[in-house]
Amino acid sequence: MRSHGGDYLSAVAGSEIVAKGDPSTGLALERRPRTDFPTYIGPATHLAEERARLTTLTWEHFDARMLGATIGAELTGIDLTVELPQAAIDAIAAALAAYKVVFFRGQPFTPERHVAFARRFGDLEVHPFIPPNTEQPELVRFEKGADVTGYENQWHHDVTWRECPSRATVLRAVQVPEVGGDTLFADMHAAYDVLAPETKAELDGLDVVHDFVQAFGRNVPEDRMADMREQYPEMVHPAVCTHEVTGRPYLYLNRTFVDRFAGWTREESCELLDRLCRMADTPEYQCRFHWEQDSVAFWDNRAVQHLACSDYWPEVRIMERASVVGERPRR
């Protein structure tokens, strides 16, 4: 046996070890695009300031445990099933603006209580293309099982085909599988912030055409399509919007509802659209929530995109959603 550890390892491995340090030594301390694939690699150092800010936050009406670097927190010590004082509602709204999505466990809402809680944050919308809870038309009901499977496993903001898309969403788990069916959320502020200056310049002033037909057209009876198209025409929103509360820019496009960039053809749009939509795939910008019965997620539909994992078939997953009407997205 050789006495020098390095010589011994080289002999065992059958090759010379030339490494002097971690392979990342000397590389730039920033996330950067690859030249051969439409992806980014490297440390997400641009998250550090926001992550540090969030770790200093304290709350009077609940405790918060962060789930991701800049997105997601589980709030404990508060009961949403009772009528809360306005100060507590204001604190939840502030936490939502900070963490972008907040989670609660053990909240056995009735449908009426679900709607009442959501309505504390604004008027609620009624979805024209998804059946509601039979008692409350403001509650969209997603009921999956062996015969109805999940197709929400694509990153998206909700109802971007509306002139005034949802500002926020309150989603409750009615029945969930023990394994699978998680929901992921992605910080679209972080996704925009990392873009190269030339990409940001390309997006400056660029608008996007959103259309309900891509996702819901097959659910509309043929004799009603003209009426629905009149009520919900193609809608144009900026590709990059400014958040009405925080003033921060965020990416506002998705594969589910976006047809093309305004003034471009579908074919001309696909490469850039795909490249930008891939930003939500980045784990560093995400948090993931595992549902239990009566868990609640409350997210900012502008600041985040979400994806519901469809990995539980043929198990049953039933969710109900109330959505708060927002303002028209602005540049």
Q: Hey, which residues are catalytic here? A: 156, 158, 306, 321
3-class state of residue 283 by DSSP: helix
Question: Strand 258-261's sheet: what is its strand order?
Answer: 235-238, 207-210, 258-261
Please give the angle made by the CA atoms of 38, 239 and 220, to the nearest 5 degrees.
100
- Give yes or no for a contact between 262 and 254, defined as CB atoms under 8 angstroms apart: no
Handedness of CA 277, 283, 287, 293 (dihedral sign): positive
The backbone torsions φ and ψ at residue 306, rounded to the nearest 5 degrees and listed phi first, read -135, 160
DSSP conformation class of 294: T
Element (H, E) at 178: none
3-class state of residue 203 by DSSP: helix
Closest among 295, 322, 321, 323 to 177, alpha carbons compared: 295
Four-CA torsion 75, 78, 82, 88, nearest 10 degrees = -80
Four-CA torsion 164, 118, 151, 279, nearest 10 degrees = 60
3-class state of residue 240 by DSSP: strand
Question: What does R_g of the chain's alpha carbons equal in angstroms?
Answer: 23
What is the DSSP secondary-structure string of 174-196?
Answer: EE--SS---EEEEEHHHHHHTS-
